[in-house]
Structure 1
Amino acid sequence: MSDYHFSEIRPGDRRAVREMETLLKAEGISKDGNLEFSVGLYDEDYQLVATGSAFANTLRCLAVDSGHRGEGLMGQIVSYLVDWQFRRGYSDLFLYTKTSTAHFFTDLGFYEVARGGDKVVFLENRKNGFARYLARLQAETEASGLKGSRIGAVVMNANPFTLGHQYLLETAAADCDILHLFMVSEDASLVPFAVREQLVRAGSAHLGNIVYHYTDSYLISSATFPSYFLKDSETVIRSQAALDTELFTKIAQKLGVTVRYVGEEPFSEVTNIYNEVMAERLSAAEIALRVTPRKAQDGKAISASQVRQAIHDGNLEVLRGLVPETTYSYFASDESRPVREKIQQAVEVIHY
């Protein structure tokens, strides 16, 4: 049997990247556009026989050359990547794979969480990770003391919290006995999560029927839906939207949610595709999708992109007309200086 060795595949190494892409294509896998680290397993002739990559807390683009199956190479690749992730602080790991190869990874210590249609399976390395997350959501709901049969949900990034976000919550809360608000808790936005949460809670404090939840890695995160943050092909976006919606459906069924509220989306291509996929799949699960028209300012729909642009330009007068007083007060304060500087230094602040 050949002696194999590992070698990092760096983005600038065109030959190695080309070999990786060729191997992935041969195994029916499209190279993910969102990769932070890739590694190859090579034989004694320096031929690539297996590969795998990582992005945030996920493993992806895992493949073994068909001529080397049965040699345990996939296990070696996965072990290498898991060790690399642990060293940089990720212990809760997630993995994408084709539906036809999911069973290989269950033998390597991963557990299926959900499927995004017939294209992708989402697995995690914690046996009861998703079950524990669902139990936590239930406990948070019970602790709120809220009761009622009209139960809705909103998933919100709020980067940052605008009058549009506030209007969506007010509209949804008026329609529900209990409104579950899932705040995208991953720090992949210009406004850090700690600040986004602070502004969401402050801007919705007048609504008494909201239960606040974190999304962790189970809703709109780099684990389940990196294209929410990074542009990608429509095919990838659709498969990730299907996966994210499947996860939301499981959550909704646990909490008794019968309607999900979203804002009308005139700006973001990705969100439009996501809403289209979500509408189809939620309907099949007997969960309604209610689209709320965007709140407008001077005839133009309010967006977080406009808010970030106003902060980027240092235009507090424009900012004041787009956000609740609680958001404005924060960004007008010295406390917000690090966040304002981060936005002002950003090359791109408009959500595509």
Structure 2
Amino acid sequence: MDDDLDIICVDPGEDPAAMERIRALLASQDLEIDSGVEEFVTFQHYGRVLACAGLEGQVVKCVAVDPSLQGREVLLPLMTEMTYVALDRGVTHLFIYTKPAYRPHFEACGFHHLATVPGVVTLLENTPRGLPAYCEQLAHLRRYRDKVGAVVLNANPFTLGHRHLLSQVVADCEVLHVFVVAERSSAFTFDERYRLVVAGVEEMPERDRIMVHRGSAYLVSRATFPSYFLKDSGVVDRAGTGLDLLIFRQHVAPALGITDRYVGTEPFCPVTRAYNADMHRWLETEPLDAAPVRVHEIPRVERDGVAISASEVRRRLANKDLVALAGLVPAPTLALLTTKVQADRPRAELVPAAVG
């Protein structure tokens, strides 16, 4: 990089003037600022932003280079500086979105291709062993059967609705793989959610045919499916669903021999409902070099005419309504919810009233 460009890191919450200049550069490239970006790396010339890249968690986004720098080696030093910023945050594994036409430029910076929605978006990571190593770990757990199912759960928290879904699925296949979404963006921590799924499965008579897996960055994560974690904004990114489902069909499913994927019907969340619909395209009908995965939608179980949902459980938890919660969740989940309610109550509420 030439010496006349200054490397300046920008905190979106602390430098509104710099953010306006970043916004202008992105707009010139038909891009918008992503509200999740935690820090920008910029190359500036006397205050003018000529190149930028943003970081959210382990995802690099909002990358743009001013046309005036065309022909100059800018992208590699920009990505190198971003790597240093990520390392300062304790992040070594990076993903990046870009337009398919720019894929060769990022591969020249050391990134490796994961999936592409043709004409829309490409996802890459900064290691050649990330996804292959993950699939090799899964392959050790493969059980060779004719019909092998998969379910991906957020389980925030695990409910009787989730258990009903798993019981319906395991009745339809010989082996069931359950993946628990690993992102830390839920009301319950990943460890809590994972433990509740494991405990819920242990109560099922079919438990010997069900394998529960910890999720990864390659399955419903901010890297593969960012719009899932932007539900409140109403954004439904169909490109994001494509990336996530392409990785599942081309890599995860072959590693475990998965033939069928199951989802519960979605009456509430438009993002999840769109994701369910997109499964039929990307897993079943899109012509790819990977075998199709059959998709099944299982009707949700209802209580008092309303589908049991984790969002309803969270609402009743907020109201500390343990009596109502008992009809929506299995015993291990109820035990955790009871502990949370008791921990939130003022001490005076927990002391029995004096007799006499």
TM-score by length of 2: 0.88
CA distance in 1, matches of 2:211, 2:259: 15
Identity of aligned residues (%): 36
Change (3 A) 1:260 1:309: same
Are 2:293 and 1:287 equivalent residues in the alignment? yes
Change (3 A) 1:234 1:320: closer
Displacement of 1:147 = 4.2
Alignment-mate amino acid for residue 79 of structure 1: T
Indicate if the aligned counterparts of 2:249 and 2:283 stay in contact, CA closer than 8 A: yes
SS of the residue corresponding to residue 191 of structure 1 reads: coil
Q: How does 1:1-352 map onto structure 2 within 5 Å? A: 3-12=4-13, 13-43=15-45, 45-141=46-142, 146-205=143-202, 206=204, 207-231=207-231, 237-250=237-250, 251-284=252-285, 286-333=292-339
CA distance in 1, matches of 2:209, 2:152: 16
Alignment-mate amino acid for residue 15 of structure 1: A
Alignment-mate amino acid for residue 12 of structure 2: P
CA distance in 2, matches of 1:69, 1:236: 33
CA distance in 1, matches of 2:187, 2:123: 27
Alignment-mate amino acid for residue 32 of structure 1: D
**Consecutive unaligned residues in structure 2, runs of 5 or more:** 287-291, 346-356
Change (3 A) 1:238 1:33: farther
Alignment-mate amino acid for residue 294 of structure 1: R
CA distance in 1, matches of 2:16, 2:93: 32
SS of the residue corresponding to residue 151 of structure 2 reads: strand
Displacement of 1:232 = 7.4
Stretch moving more, 275-284 or 176-185: 275-284
Change (3 A) 1:58 1:337: farther
Alignment-mate amino acid for residue 169 of structure 1: L
Q: Larger Cα Rg: Structure 1 or Structure 2? A: 2
SS of the residue corresponding to residue 229 of structure 1 reads: helix
Change (3 A) 1:132 1:151: same
1:8-39: per-residue Cα shift (whole Å, max 9, x none)? 33435443223222222322333323212123
CA distance in 2, matches of 1:33, 1:276: 27
CA distance in 1, matches of 2:156, 2:164: 15
Change (3 A) 1:253 1:30: farther
SS of the residue corresponding to residue 294 of structure 1 reads: coil
Change (3 A) 1:281 1:233: farther
Indicate if the aligned counterparts of 2:236 and 2:271 stay in contact, CA closer than 8 A: no
Change (3 A) 1:191 1:287: same
Indicate if the aligned counterparts of 1:237 and 1:273 stay in contact, CA closer than 8 A: no
**Consecutive unaligned residues in structure 1, runs of 5 or more:** 342-352
CA distance in 1, matches of 2:115, 2:29: 22
Alignment-mate amino acid for residue 208 of structure 1: D
Alignment-mate amino acid for residue 257 of structure 2: G
Displacement of 1:235 = 7.0
CA distance in 2, matches of 1:180, 1:135: 16
SS of the residue corresponding to residue 331 of structure 1 reads: helix
TM-score by length of 1: 0.89
Indicate if the aligned counterparts of 2:151 and 2:261 stay in contact, CA closer than 8 A: yes
CA distance in 2, matches of 1:166, 1:93: 35
1:163-212: per-residue Cα shift (whole Å, max 9, x none)? 11111111111111111111112222110011111100111112221122
Alignment-mate amino acid for residue 237 of structure 1: D
Displacement of 1:2 = 5.7
1:103-124: per-residue Cα shift (whole Å, max 9, x none)? 1111111111111342111111
1:37-76: per-residue Cα shift (whole Å, max 9, x none)? 1232101x32111000011111111111111023222122
